[in-house]
Amino acid sequence: MNAPANTTAGIERLLEVMRRLRDPEGGCPWDIEQDFSTIAPYTIEEAYEVADAIARQDWADLEGELGDLLLQVVYHARMAEEAGLFDFERVAHAIAEKMIARHPHVFGKAEIEDSSAQRVAWEETKAAERARKAAARGGQPSVLDDVPLVLPSLTRAEKLQKRAARAGFDWKETAPVVAKIREELDEVEQAVAAGDLPGRHEEMGDLLFAVANLARHLGVDPETALRDANRKFERRFRAVEAAVAAEGRRCEEVGLDELDRHWDEVKRRER
């Protein structure tokens, strides 16, 4: 692994590369034109590519993807420095201070028995931070504050539900959650039968939200579960396509019954 002699040298070199790229005289025209809003989608994309490399356990790829994600942090920090807001050093200092404040059992004299107690202490610290932010805005703090709008919808649904659960707004068992899913499915069917297009949209959202809630109660991450289901579907459908192609035909040329037969055969082989 070819790494810089030390971390500081590597960071300084990256910061200098970004300064050159954004230099109005001699920099890259594309990089100079960008702003926070145009770069934000790339930041999200790079975070997903990091997660993808981890899911594939491709550690060589992960090294590169982490570099791409770090570049995004440097990019935003550079634009903020140009605008007189803050710089990379302040970003790094702030996160270090935050981690120290949130881990008094490591950097202070507090004692925490186990990881469960640590999670409780972590959430209490974050709740206090949200209260301070709300007070600074002159508003009423909410347990739902600071759940990012740009999160994938299933992930955001789960986080909203977790926050509400901490305030006592939650079922204690899974049975009523399952009943809620059936209720929402009935309402979807009613909207379909009535030809209510806006109603379909709303009721499907409620159904998906209820399904995310069941996943949370079962200890399943809904976003990861759906990602794995997507991957499984893709793998199986590609196998169906290959089986049909081996017969000298295309999927569009065969009926659903035959496609289902191939699908069942693929599932049987996987078992």
Tell me the two tokens of residue 12: 């300084």
- Which is more confidently placed, 109 or 24? 24
Distance CA 18, CA 34 (A): 12
- Which is more confidently placed, 139 or 76? 76
User: At 11, is the pLDDT very low, low, confident or very high (cuts 50, 70, 90)?
Assistant: very high
- Which is more confidently placed, 70 or 139? 70
Residues 131 and 116 grouped into a single domain: yes
Lowest mean pLDDT among 57-71, 141-155, 189-203: 141-155
Residues 81 and 38 grouped into a single domain: yes
- Which is more confidently placed, 129 or 89? 89
Are the beta carbons of 10 and 4 closer than 8 angstroms? Answer: yes
Kindly state whether residue 74 falls inside one of the protein's structural domains: yes
User: At 1, is the pLDDT very low, low, confident or very high (cuts 50, 70, 90)?
Assistant: very low
Kindly state whether residue 201 falls inside one of the protein's structural domains: yes
Kindly state whether residue 130 falls inside one of the protein's structural domains: yes
CATH of the domain at 179: 1.10.287.1080
Kindly state whether residue 116 falls inside one of the protein's structural domains: yes
Residues with Cβ < 8 Å from 44, sequence gap 6 or more?
150
Kindly state whether residue 66 falls inside one of the protein's structural domains: yes
Record the pTM: 0.68
Q: What is the pLDDT of the chain when averaged over all its residues? A: 91
Dihedral (Cα; 141, 147, 148, 152), 10-degree rounding: -160
User: At 2, is the pLDDT very low, low, confident or very high (cuts 50, 70, 90)?
Assistant: low
Kindly state whether residue 192 falls inside one of the protein's structural domains: yes
Residues 229 and 216 grouped into a single domain: no
Domain range enclosing 65: 7-102
Which of 184, 203, 220 terminates a domain? The answer is 220
Tell me the two tokens of residue 39: 């770069």
Residues 130 and 206 grouped into a single domain: no
User: At 131, is the pLDDT very low, low, confident or very high (cuts 50, 70, 90)?
Assistant: confident
Number of domains in the chain: 4
- pLDDT computed for residue 5 by the predictor: 55
